[in-house]
């Protein structure tokens, strides 16, 4: 599979997020998943995000949370541009359009020493 995007499994221990080409790849306690890397809010690189205790992918800029199984934004951003903090109406607005415009989702599987995005 010459065009597959991959990441060494050693670089993706449980509870972490990594990058494989255009995909943010997560390891949720041994289960891998991949979503498109650009946050639906202001395009932050989600491969630099983190996983929370619920297994959601958290954007590194304003904390929007994504369900990596569906690509849906399950909690809107807290802030915009350089501001980080509560923005109740705005947060709801972003979440509303993100519910229509989900992240793309791909399967990610362990193959030998790598995790491969299909």
Minimal distance, residue 37 CB to ligand FES, in Å = 11
CB of 80 to ligand FES, least distance (A): 7
Distances (CA, A) of 87 to 31, 61, 65: 33, 14, 15
Q: Which is nearer to ligand FES, 71 or 77 (CB)?
A: 77
Residue burial 73-98, b: 16+ Cβ < 10 Å; e: rest: bebbbbbbeeeeeebeeebeebbeeb
Interface with ligand FES (CB under 6 A)? 39, 41-42, 44, 59, 61-64, 77
> SS3 letters for 7-41?
EEHHHCCCCCEEEECCEEEEEECCEEEEEECECCC
Closest contact distance (angstroms) between CB of 56 and ligand FES is: 12
Nearer to ligand FES, 9 or 45 (CB): 45
The smaller minimum CB distance to ligand FES, of residues 32 and 61, is found at 61
Residue 79 and residue 87 in contact, taking contact as beta carbons nearer than 8 Å: yes
> Shortest distance, CB of residue 49 to ligand FES, whole angstroms?
8
| Nearer residue to ligand FES within complex by CB, 9 or 80 | 80
């Amino acid at each position: 599979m010459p065009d597959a995007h991959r990441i060494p499994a050693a670089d993706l221990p449980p509870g972490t997020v990594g990058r494989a080409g255009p995909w943010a790849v997560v390891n949720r306690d041994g289960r891998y998943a991949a979503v498109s890397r650009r946050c639906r809010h202001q395009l932050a690189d989600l491969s630099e995000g983190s996983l929370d205790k619920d297994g959601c992918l958290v954007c590194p800029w304003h904390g929007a949370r994504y369900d990596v199984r569906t690509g849906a934004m399950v909690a809107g951003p807290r802030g915009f541009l350089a501001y980080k903090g509560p923005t109740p109406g705005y947060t709801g607005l972003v979440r509303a359009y993100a519910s229509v415009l989900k992240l793309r989702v791909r399967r990610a599987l362990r193959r030998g020493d790598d995790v491969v995005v299909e």
